[in-house]
A and B are shown apart, each in its own frame.
Chain A
C-alpha cells in the first residue's frame, strides 16, 4: 500500500534561514508527487507538483522540491524563509494513473521566528 512519511513534525526557524522538509514515499511504481500548504485558518492549497520531466520542480512563493527516485524522496526546500511561511506543510503521492487515490503524509508544522 502507498504511504508517505514526513519525519519532521515541527520545525522552528528564524527568518532568512534555509528550509528543507523531508518527504519519503513507499510506492515503487511511477508516482505523482505534491506539496500542499495550509496557512493558519485557511484551506489547503497546492505549493507544487511533480508528474514527469525535470525532477527539480519550482512552485509558488519561492519553494522548490527535488524528486530523487532512487531514494523515494521529494524534499521541499526554500533558500530563505519569511515569517509569512509559518504554516503546516503536507506531502502527498498518488500512483500515475487516471483514477487513483491521493495519500498524504502527517504534515510538518513550520514556525518562523521574526
Chain B
C-alpha cells in the first residue's frame, strides 16, 4: 500500500535561517506531488506541484522553493525564513490519472 512520510512534525526556526522540509512517498511510482500551506480560516493554499522529476510549478510568489530530486521525494526549501512563513505545511501525492490527493501528517513551522 502507498504511504507518505513528512518530517519533521514540528519545527521552530529563527528569522533568516534556512529551511528544508522533506516528503517521501512509498508504494507508487511517478506520482503527482504537492506542497500546501494551511492557515486558519484560509483553507489550503497550493504552493507547488510537480508531475515528474525536476518539474515544479509554483502557484504563488513567495520566499519558498521546491525541488523533486527523485521520483518520490519532494522538498520544500527557503534560503532565509521570514516571520510570515510560519504555518502548517502539508505534503500530498496523487496518481497520474484523476485520483484524489493523499496527505501527510504535516509540519508545524514557527519562525521566531
Contact = CB atoms under 8 A, between A and B. Distances in A.
Interface size grouping (class) on chain A = 20 to 34
B110 to A, nearest CB: 18
Contacts of B74: none
Nearest to A51: B98
Chain A interface secondary structure, helix, strand, loop or mixed? loop
A46 B99 CA distance: 11
A101 B57 contact: yes
A18 to B, nearest CB: 24
Contact of A104 (B41, B44, B102): B44
Interface size grouping (class) on chain B = 20 to 34
A98 B96 contact: yes
Contact of B46 (A45, A99, A101, A107): A101
A25 interface: no
A44 interface: yes
A43 B106 contact: yes
Contacts of B32: 99-100
Interface of B: 32, 34, 36, 41-46, 49, 51, 57, 59, 90, 92, 94, 96-98, 100-106
